């Protein structure tokens, strides 16, 4: 294929958060500020910029990676030399494979996380709005979305909890089943509490209370999740009305003890309580777990769940990788097929041009001939051209979209017959 596909990027593996922040392109993806214009070597482009990766996808001819790096660095007011040490470059099918892996969350920091697919769809939508995509990248991105769907449908790569906060909520769902009709209390208002609140809402929890040493921060978190903030020193009052308690404070001493919960259980008429302690040091005295109708998990318990689930996801990731390989092969056949029709046309045009040139020479040598003779010679030449082109055309067509080696067939035919292809014009698949 003369028009190549390139993916140039950096991610959480190649660059620290400071570098990712410096070269982020989240503000360079609208039509007015599109960071990778489709000029020069680049004919199509898509920009994906998230907290964990920045990736530029492009199709074109010539020094496409060089132009991509210059545009990227320039958009951030930096030199290419400052950016280059952190980037990877993939070309053609390796670029396709990487994109499919990203879309399927096989390249994510958290294997199987669902957010990246939505982020990729947003990136593609912005590229379309910026008139930056064409036949190649349109087809490639749509295929990436279908590959991601297939991975999620045919594997369990995203089926189990792989974060502490998510695992905590999943355990709560095992205890209570349907989360509707239940309340949760978050003790602490840090990042872990914020993630837990998000997962609780997604699970269908009725109400979230937030108790924090700094009431203002508690109010901020509660407001974010349509919850209610309560002072930390009045936490005991609210324990009787909540079913799930998740603690993540910085306290050096336990803030919940067994003696505090006995009275709460009596007031609740022994309705079950689920405690999740994700603080280090622990917020909840282990003795609490000895009480009837109380379920207590600490961060070590959750880590075991996470590790088990990660191992399961890694097994499923191997199945997902096979799907990606299959889809990369299918896309390669489509790419190859794009060149079949132009190659056939070029072959016919070349043959007809050469035939007409030779016919003109012959007629010149013969001198004046009658119209019947001229028509007979033209018919002979035309018949010879068709018959001589029949086998090479069948050779090309028999490669098809579903067989390996079509690209080699096209390349061989173009070399044998001297067909020079200088542009990057592709036809949509019919």
Confidence of residue 404 (pLDDT cuts 50, 70, 90): very low
pLDDT surpasses 50 at 430? no
**The pLDDT of residue 342:** 79
Q: Is residue 208 part of a domain?
A: yes
* Rounded percentage of the chain residues whose pLDDT exceeds 90: 48
Are residues 369 and 231 both part of a single domain?
no
Q: Is residue 409 part of a domain?
A: yes
Q: Is residue 425 part of a domain?
A: no
Phi, psi of 148 (to 5 degrees): -60, -40
Distances (CA, A) of 377 to 31, 57, 386: 58, 53, 14
Q: Is residue 298 part of a domain?
A: yes
Query: Can you read off the two tokens belonging to residue 405?
Result: 């080696």
pLDDT, the chain, mean = 87
pLDDT surpasses 90 at 369? no
Q: What angle do CA 109, 244, 268 make, to 5 degrees?
A: 175
- Exposed, middle or buried by CB within 10 Å (0-12, 13-18, 19+), for 151? buried
Q: What whole-number distance in Å separates Cα of residue 257 and Cα of residue 275?
A: 12
Q: What whole-number distance in Å separates Cα of residue 424 and Cα of residue 313?
A: 41
Computed from CA positions of residues 165, 171, 172, 178, in that sequence, does the dihedral angle turn out positive or negative? positive
Are residues 16 and 152 both part of a single domain?
yes
pLDDT surpasses 60 at 332? yes
Q: Which of 277, 303, 329 is the last residue of a domain?
A: 303
Q: Which of 3, 29, 38, 51 is catalytic?
A: 51
pTM for the structure as a whole: 0.60
**The pLDDT of residue 407:** 61
Q: Which of 279, 303, 327 is the last residue of a domain?
A: 303
**Between helices 340-366 and 406-416, what is the axis angle to 10°?**
20
Are residues 98 and 197 both part of a single domain?
no
Are residues 155 and 76 both part of a single domain?
yes
Are residues 295 and 406 both part of a single domain?
no
Are residues 154 and 205 both part of a single domain?
no
Which residues, 6 or more positions from 108, have their beta carbon under 8 angstroms from its beta carbon? 52, 102, 116
Q: Is residue 320 part of a domain?
A: no
Q: Is residue 315 part of a domain?
A: no
SS3 (DSSP) at 314: helix
Confidence of residue 334 (pLDDT cuts 50, 70, 90): confident
Q: What whole-number distance in Å separates Cα of residue 227 and Cα of residue 188?
A: 14
Are residues 191 and 237 both part of a single domain?
yes
**The pLDDT of residue 98:** 97
Are residues 126 and 42 both part of a single domain?
yes
Q: Is residue 423 part of a domain?
A: no
> What residues make up the domain containing 356?
337-416
Are residues 291 and 411 both part of a single domain?
no
Domain with residue 180: its CATH number is 3.40.50.720
pLDDT surpasses 90 at 296? yes
Structurally, the chain folds into a number of domains equal to 3
pLDDT surpasses 70 at 420? no
User: For the residues 388-396, what does the mean pLDDT come to?
Assistant: 87
DSSP 199-234: HHHHHT-SEEEEEESSHHHHHHHHHHTT-EEEEGGG
Measure the N-to-C terminal CA separation of the chain; round to a whole number of Å: 19
pLDDT in tens, 123-175: 999 999 999 998 889 999 999 999 999 998 998 887 765 677 778 888 888 88
DSSP H or E stretch at residue 247 = strand 244-247
Q: Which of 303, 324, 349 is the last residue of a domain?
A: 303
Are residues 351 and 221 both part of a single domain?
no
DSSP H or E stretch at residue 324 = helix 299-338
Q: What whole-number distance in Å separates Cα of residue 35 and Cα of residue 67?
A: 11
User: For the residues 93-116, what does the mean pLDDT come to?
Assistant: 89
User: For the residues 297-306, what does the mean pLDDT come to?
Assistant: 81
Are residues 408 and 268 both part of a single domain?
no
Q: Give buried/exposed letters for 337-374 (b at 16+ CB in 10 A, else e).
A: bbbbebbbebbeebbeeebeeebeeeeeeeeeeeeeee
Which residues, 6 or more positions from 35, have their beta carbon under 8 angstroms from its beta carbon? 25, 28, 29, 47, 56, 71, 72, 75
**The pLDDT of residue 92:** 94
Are residues 201 and 295 both part of a single domain?
yes
SS3 (DSSP) at 70: helix
How long is the chain? 430
User: For the residues 205-230, what does the mean pLDDT come to?
Assistant: 92
**The pLDDT of residue 405:** 53
51 has catalytic annotation: yes
Domain with residue 53: its CATH number is 3.30.460.30
Q: Is residue 133 part of a domain?
A: yes
Q: What whole-number distance in Å separates Cα of residue 126 and Cα of residue 136?
A: 16
**Between helices 93-103 and 299-338, what is the axis angle to 10°?**
140
């Amino acid at each position: 294929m003369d028009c190549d596909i390139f993916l140039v990027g950096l991610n959480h593996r190649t660059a620290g958060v400071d570098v990712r922040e410096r070269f982020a392109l989240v503000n360079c993806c609208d039509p007015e500020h599109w960071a990778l214009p489709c000029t020069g070597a680049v004919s199509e482009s898509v920009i994906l910029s998230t907290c964990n990766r920045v990736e530029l996808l492009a199709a074109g001819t010539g020094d496409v990676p060089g132009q991509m790096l210059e545009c990227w660095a320039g958009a951030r007011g930096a030199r290419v030399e400052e950016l280059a040490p952190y980037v990877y470059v993939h070309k053609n099918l390796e670029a396709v494979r990487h994109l499919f892996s990203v879309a399927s969350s096989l390249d994510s920091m958290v294997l199987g996380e669902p957010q990246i697919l939505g982020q990729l769809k947003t990136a593609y939508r912005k590229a379309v709005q910026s008139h930056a995509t064409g036949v190649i990248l349109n087809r490639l991105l749509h295929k990436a979305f279908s590959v991601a769907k297939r991975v999620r449908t045919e594997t369990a790569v995203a089926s189990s909890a792989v974060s502490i906060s998510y695992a905590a909520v999943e355990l709560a769902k095992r205890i209570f089943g349907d989360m509707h009709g239940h309340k949760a209390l978050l003790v602490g208002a840090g990042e872990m509490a914020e993630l837990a609140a998000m997962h609780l809402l997604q699970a269908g929890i009725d109400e979230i209370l937030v108790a924090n040493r700094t009431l203002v921060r508690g109010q901020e978190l509660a407001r974010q999740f349509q919850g209610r903030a309560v002072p930390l020193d009045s936490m005991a009052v609210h324990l009787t009305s909540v079913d799930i308690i998740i603690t993540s404070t910085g306290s050096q001493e336990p803030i919940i003890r067994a003696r505090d919960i006995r009275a709460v259980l009596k007031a609740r008429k022994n309705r079950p309580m689920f405690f999740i302690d994700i603080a280090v040091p622990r917020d909840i005295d282990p003795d609490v777990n000895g009480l009837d109708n109380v379920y207590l998990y600490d961060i070590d318990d959750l880590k075991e769940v996470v590790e088990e689930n990660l191992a399961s996801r890694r097994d499923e990731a191997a199945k997902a990788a096979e799907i990606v390989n299959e889809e990369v092969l299918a896309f390669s056949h489509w790419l190859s097929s794009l060149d079949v029709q132009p190659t056939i046309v070029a072959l016919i045009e070349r043959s007809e041009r050469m035939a007409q040139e030779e016919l003109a020479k012959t007629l010149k040598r013969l001198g004046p001939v009658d119209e019947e003779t001229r028509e007979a010679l033209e018919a002979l030449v035309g018949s010879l051209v068709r018959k001589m082109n029949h086998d090479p055309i069948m050779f090309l067509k028999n490669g098809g979209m579903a067989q390996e080696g079509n690209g080699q067939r096209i390349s061989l035919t173009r070399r044998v017959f001297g067909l020079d292809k200088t542009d990057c014009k592709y036809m949509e698949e019919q």
